[in-house]
Structure 1
Amino acid sequence: MFASSTRCDRAVPVSPLARSLLVMGLFSLVQGLPAWFFTLGLPALMRDNGASLSMVGLTWVVWLPQACKMLWAPLFDRPVVAPFGSRRGWLRALPLLMAGTFACVALFPPDGPLWPLLVLSLISASIGATLQIVVAAWLIGTLPAEGRAWANATGVAATVIGGMLGGGAILSIGTHLSWTFGVLLVAGLIVLLSFPVWLRADRGDDGAADQQTPAPCPPWSAWRQVASRPGFGPLCAVILCFGAAGGADVLVAALMVDRGFSAEQTGWILGTVATGSVIPASALVGWALRRWGCGPVLIVLYAVKAAVLLGLGLSGPLPAVAVAALAVVDFSLSGALTVVTWQLYMNAASDGGQAATGFGVLTSLDALMRFGAGILAGTVGQSFGMPTAFAVSAAAALLAGSGALILRLSSSADQTQ
Structure 2
Amino acid sequence: MNRMQNWLAGIAVYRDRRVLAILVLGFASGLPLALTGQTLQAWLTESGTSLQAIGLFASVGTPYALKFLWAPLVDRLELPGLTRRLGRRRGWLIFAQILLIAAILGLGSTDPRDLLYLTALCAVAVAFASATQDIVIDAWRVEILEERQLAAGAACIVFGYRIGMLVSSAGALYLAGPLGWPMVYAIMAALVALGGVTVLLIGEPASRPREDAERRFREVSAWLEARPHLRGWVAKFAAWLYVGVAGPFLQFATRRGWVAVLLFVLLFKLGDSLAGALATSFYLKLGFSREQIAEVSKLYGFAATMLGLFMGGWLMQAAGLYRSLWICGILQMGSNLLFAVLALRGADLWFLAFTIGVENLAGGMGTAALVAYLSALCNVAYTATQYALLSSLTAVARTFLSSFAGFLAQSLGWPLFFVATAFAALPGLILLAWLTRQGAETRVMTKPA
TM range (shorter): 0.7 to 0.9
* 1:177–1:228 distance in 2 versus 1, CA, 3 Å: same
Q: Which residue of the partner structure matches residue 226 of structure 1? A: 252
One-letter amino acid of the structure 2 residue matched with residue 66 of structure 1: Y
The counterpart of 2:401, out of the listed 354, 361, 373, is 373
Which deviations, in whole Å up to 9, do the C-alpha atoms of 1:84-132 show, x marking residues without a partner? Answer: 4211112233223222221223312555433333222222222222222
- Name the residue aligned to 2:41: 43
- Out of 344, 347, 353, the residue aligned to residue 317 of structure 1 is 344
Residues in 2 aligned to 1:212 and 1:229: alpha-carbon distance in whole angstroms: 22
User: What is the identity, as a one-letter code, of the residue corresponding to 1:182?
Assistant: V
Deviation track 1:253-279 (CA, whole Å, cap 9, x = no partner) reads: 121111101344324433332234212
1:280 paired residue among 307, 313, 317 = 307
Which deviates the most, 105-114 or 279-288? 105-114
Give the whole-Å Cα distance in 2 for the aligned partners of 1:174 and 1:96: 24
| Deviation of 1:233 (Å) | 0.9
Task: Go from structure 1 to structure 2 and tell me whether the alpha carbon gap of 1:413 and 1:359 turns closer, same or farther (over 3 Å shift).
Answer: closer
Judging changes above 3 Å, is the alpha-carbon distance between structure 1 residues 402 and 13 closer, same or farther for their aligned structure 2 residues?
same
Residue correspondences, number: 402
- 1:344 corresponds to 2:373: yes
* Aligned twin of 2:208: 209
Cα distance in 1 for partners of 2:12, 2:341 equals: 48
- Aligned letter for 2:266? L
Mapped to 1, the partners of 2:440 and 2:69 lie a distance apart of 33
- Correspondence for 2:21: 23
Q: What is the correspondence of 1:60-75 to structure 2 with a 5 Å cutoff?
A: 60-75=58-73
Q: Which amino acid aligns with 1:309?
A: N
Tell me how far apart the structure 2 counterparts of residues 162 and 28 of structure 1 sit (CA, whole Å): 7
- CA shift, 1:413, in A, is 11
Aligned partners of 1:22, 1:209: CA distance in 2, in Å? 23
Matched with 1:355 is 383
Task: Select the residue among 426, 431, 438 that pairs with 1:398.
Answer: 426
Between 1:216-225 and 1:24-33, the stretch displaced more is: 216-225
Q: CA deviation at 1:394?
A: 0.8
Partner of 1:333: 362
Q: Does 1:388 align with 2:416?
A: yes
Percent identical across equivalent pairs?
Answer: 24
231-240 or 211-220, which deviates more: 211-220
Whether the 8 Å CA contact 1:165–1:271 is kept in 2: the answer is no
Q: Which residue of 1 aligns with 2:446?
A: none
Other-structure match for 1:140: 142
SS at match of 1:316: helix
- Structure 1 window deviating more from structure 2 (342-351 vs 102-111): it is 102-111
Deviations 1:271-317 (A, max 9, x none): 33223421222122123223333211111111111111122124333
The alpha-carbon deviation at position 348 of structure 1 amounts to 0.7
Alpha-carbon distance in 1 for matches of 2:340, 2:291: 23
SS in 1 for 2:344: coil
Match of 1:374, SS state, is coil
Q: Tell me, what secondary structure is at the counterpart of 2:208?
A: coil
Offset of residue 243 of structure 1 = 4.1
Per-residue displacement from partner, 1:34-58 (whole Å, max 9, x unpaired)?
2123211122232344333322212
Determine the C-alpha separation between the residues in 1 that align with 2:342 and 2:78: 51
> In structure 2, do the counterparts of structure 1 residues 121 and 325 end up closer, same or farther at CA, with 3 Å as the change threshold?
farther
Q: For the Cα contact (< 8 Å) 1:67–1:366, is it kept in 2?
A: yes
SS at match of 2:48: coil
Name 2:30's counterpart in structure 1.
Answer: 32
Pairwise CA RMSD = 3.0
The match for 1:5 is none
Aligned to 2:392: 364
Q: Identify the residue that residue 4 of structure 1 maps to in structure 2.
A: none
Shift of the alpha carbon at 1:148?
Answer: 1.5
Q: CA deviation at 1:221?
A: 4.2
Structure 1 residue 144: Cα displacement:
4.2
Q: Structure 1 residues 301-310 or 220-229, which shifts more?
A: 220-229
Question: Equivalences for 1:159-174 in 2 at 5 Å?
Answer: 159-174=161-176
Gaps of 5+ in 2: 1-5, 218-239, 444-449
Partner residue in 2 for 1:257: 284
**Aligned residue for 2:223?**
none
| Cα pair 1:149 1:290 within 8 Å, conserved | no
Q: 1:156 to 1:15 in 2, by over 3 A?
A: closer
Aligned to 1:155: 157
Aligned letter for 1:166? S
Amino acid in structure 2 at the alignment position of 1:153: A
Give the gaps of 5 or more residues in structure 1: 1-7
Contact 1:70–1:357, Cα closer than 8 Å, also in 2: yes
Match of 1:236 in 2: 262
Helix, strand or coil at the partner of 1:210 = helix
Q: Which has the higher contact order (CA 8 A, sep 6+)?
A: 1
Amino acid corresponding to residue 210 of structure 1 in structure 2: P
In the TM superposition, residue 347 of structure 1 has moved relative to its aligned partner by 0.5
Q: Indicate the SS of the match to 2:277.
A: helix
